Amino acid sequence: MTAGRPVTPATASPTPDASPAPGAPGGAPLTIGLVVNPVAGVGGPAGLKGSDGADVQREALARGSRPRAAERAAQAVRALLARRPGTRILTVAGPMGEDSARAAGAFPELVRIAPGDPSSSKDTTAAVEAMREADLLLFAGGDGTARDVLDGAPSCPVLGIPAGVKVYSGCFAVSPAAAGLTAAEFVPGDGRSTVEAEVVDLDEEVYRRGAVAPRLYGTLRVPAVRARLSGRKVGSSSAGPGSAEGVAREVVARMRPGVRYVLGPGATTAAVGRLLGSATTLLGVDVIQDGELIAADVTEKELLALVDGHESCAVVSVIGGQGFVLGRGNQQISPAVLKKIMASGGLVVLATQQKLAGLAGRPLLADTGDPEADALVEGHVSVITGYRESAMYRIRSAIEELPA
């Protein structure tokens, strides 16, 4: 017994003193979908840098690894039910969710799919497709699982329970308990309560050889996590100047007539397209001039022709947590293209202050494969962090930063 500990259990009822939030469902039952990738994370302890592929999973188990996704999913469900008892849980029979839910003391309802044994990516995708009734979908896994969820085109917002080896995507909560608590506080149908988060994944084959190559696969709607801060001094609004919309407004405000803007992939650059009303692509490289989309999802060759003889500016975002801005997911901006751009309009990087802070003083990285081209961008670059807000940040060639 600790000092000051009350007699009643802490988890007896959800926030008894809190008045319901405006627009809160006032105790209406919430339906949470749960999908567990039972092999997620198995490769990490075995030093396999990931768990993608049946061979790797077998090897990891042979090396004595124990899967940890089931346990982490149970932690999330436990936190969810403690905060919001009576939540309806929809899941898949067996290790893809039912086992975790039951371990957490829940009585889940099962969707009608029959996963293979062992389960595969296809089962995750099928489970997501089968959960149309859920208000929010929790999935336990890593970046690879997030990609499978994305493939299932979920009809509701999702949130990842971090359980994989690689968790670079923005769609994960910081811990299993945080995922459960966020789910418990989720208000369905409230437009303010979700944001778009990027799904990125590393190519594990390349990663095992010692290189880091994050790639952007798409975006998922996730609950906007509003920190329960004690005594904070400032609020942050999803429509604030530091949001993707704020960054996009600044990019558009800086656009000059006649200049060709090469937009790299990413949710932030996609917001620029939205603001201009142009059908830019999320994953491709697009070119804008005078507010109009003049070429979408271009190849390197097409891009080289488009920037040749025109004042051009590259607008790229930071992909993944390592700080890469060139040579990851935007290889269309090749050394030859970059040399032309740096001779005219130059480079603009988009990132939130939070993302830059996450680099902990490490520089942004360029890895076009040509040290000469990388050298052109070395030094300090203007990083747009919001409307009329930027940071001056160091950028270096990746060759100098990463161990060979």
Partner 1 sequence: MSGHAGEPFAKLPVEPKPPLRRFHQARWDEPIIFEQSRPGRRGISVPAAGVPAVELPGSVRRAEPPRLPEMGQLQVLRHYVRLSQENLGVDNAIAVGQGTCTMKYSPKINDRFVSDPKVAELHPLQPEDTVQGTLEIYWQLERILTEVSGMHRVSLQPGSGSAAIYANVAMIRAYHASRGEGRQRDQVITTMFSHPSNAACAKTAGYEIITLMPDADGYPDIEALRAAAGPRTAALLITNPEDTGIFNPRIAEFVDIVHRAGGLACYDQANANGLLGITRAADAGFDLCHFNLHKTFSTPHACGGPAAGACGVSEALAPFLPGPTVEFDGERYYLDADRPQSVGKIRPFIGVTPNVVRAYAWAMTLGAEGLREVAEIAVLNNNYLMHKVLQIPGASAPWDRRRVEQVRYSWQELSEETGVHSEEIGIRAADFGVHYWTSHHPYVVPEPFTLEPTEAYSQEDLDEYAAILAHVADEARRDPDFVKGAPYNQTVHKTDQTWLDDPKSWAVSWRAYVRKHLS
The site for partner 1 (CB under 8 A) is made up of 2-6, 10-11, 15-19, 21-22, 75, 79, 82, 175-178, 181, 192, 226-238, 241-242, 352-354, 356-357, 360-362, 379-380, 382, 385, 388-394
CB of 133 to partner 1, least distance (A): 26
Instruction: Report residue 153 as tokens.
Output: 């085109």
Between 79 and 319, CB nearer to partner 1:
79
Residue number, 31 or 175, with CB nearest to partner 1: 175
CA atoms within 13 A on the CB side of 97: 29
- Residue 92: exposed, middle, or buried by beta-carbon count in 10 A (0-12, 13-18, 19+)? buried
For residue 348, what are the contacts with CB-CB under 8 A and spacing of at least 6?
Answer: 251, 254, 313, 314, 315, 316, 381, 382, 384
Cα distances from 353 to residues 241, 245, 254, in angstroms, run 11, 14, 19
Structure tokens that stand for 176 in this block: 């299993």
Q: How far is it, in rounded angstroms, from Cα 260 to Cα 136?
A: 41
Considering the complex, state which of residue 62 and residue 234 has its C-beta at the smaller distance from partner 1.
234
Convert 95-122 to b/e letters by CB count within 10 Å (16 or more is b): bbbbbbbeebebebebbeeebeeebbbe
Q: Whole-angstrom Cα distance, residue 80 to residue 85?
A: 8
Give the residue with the Cβ less far from partner 1, 15 or 155. Answer: 15
In sequence order, the 6+-apart residues with CB closer than 8 A to the CB of 125 are: 148, 149, 151, 152
Token representation of residue 394: 């160091």
Report the C-alpha gap between 397 and 380 in whole angstroms.
12
Cβ-based nearer residue to partner 1, 75 or 312: 75
Instruction: Supply the minimum distance, in Å, between the C-beta of residue 151 and partner 1.
Output: 30
Which residue intervals of 84-175 are DSSP H helices?
98-103, 121-129, 143-151
Minimum CB distance to partner 1, residue 203 (Å): 27
Please say which residue, 189 or 379, places its beta carbon nearer to partner 1: 379
Q: How far is the CB of 388 from partner 1 (least distance, A)?
A: 5
The nearer residue to partner 1, 19 or 403, going by C-beta atoms, is 19
- In the complex, the smallest distance separating the C-beta of residue 189 from partner 1, rounded to whole angstroms, is 15
Minimum separation from the CB atom of position 108 to partner 1 (A):
21
Q: Which of residues 24 and 279 has its CB atom nearest to partner 1 in the complex?
A: 24
How far is Cα 243 from Cα 240, in angstroms, rounded to an integer?
A: 6
User: How far apart are CB 395 and partner 1 at their closest, in Å?
Assistant: 11
Q: How far is the CB of 229 from partner 1 (least distance, A)?
A: 5
Q: Give least dist CB 193 to partner 1, A.
A: 8
Which lies closer to partner 1 via its Cβ, residue 6 or residue 309? 6
What's the rounded Cα separation, in Å, for the pair 49 and 56? 10
The one-character DSSP state at 402 is: S
